[in-house]
């Protein structure tokens, strides 16, 4: 339920942000040949939703990678 609501909200926000210049141009010049963008905002909304749902797992993976990098550098920088 929350995943679907989050997906709808993210996609609608990206659609609005990416198409605001188009809506302004269409208002001033109704004969414009420019088309609104749907693919990129939809994909960005989907990616943001999936990353938000996987936030805990990603943070754990990043933490583990950070610990490994710290460990590797501490080994090589010892005197």
Q: What is the pLDDT of residue 59?
A: 74
Q: What are the tens digits of pLDDT across the range 26-62?
A: 889 999 888 888 998 999 889 888 888 877 677 777 8
How many separate domains does the chain show?
1
**Distance between CA atoms of residues 66 and 7, nearest Å:** 30
Q: Give CA–CA dist 54/6, Å, rounded.
A: 13
pTM of the model: 0.64
* Residue owning tokens 């990678």: 65
More confident residue, 49 or 76: 49
Inter-CA distances, 34 with 2, 23, 28, Å: 35, 10, 13
In this structure, what are the phi and psi dihedrals at residue 61, rounded to the nearest 5 degrees? -65, -45
Note down the domain range covering 37.
2-76
């Amino acid at each position: 339920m929350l995943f679907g609501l989050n997906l709808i909200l993210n996609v609608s926000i990206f659609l609005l942000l990416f198409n605001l210049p188009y809506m302004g141009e269409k208002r001033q010049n109704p004969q414009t040949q420019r088309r609104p963008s749907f693919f990129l905002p939809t994909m960005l909304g989907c990616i943001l939703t999936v990353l938000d749902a996987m936030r805990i797992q990603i943070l754990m993976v990043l933490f583990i990678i950070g610990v490994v990098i710290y460990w590797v550098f501490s080994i090589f920088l010892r005197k």
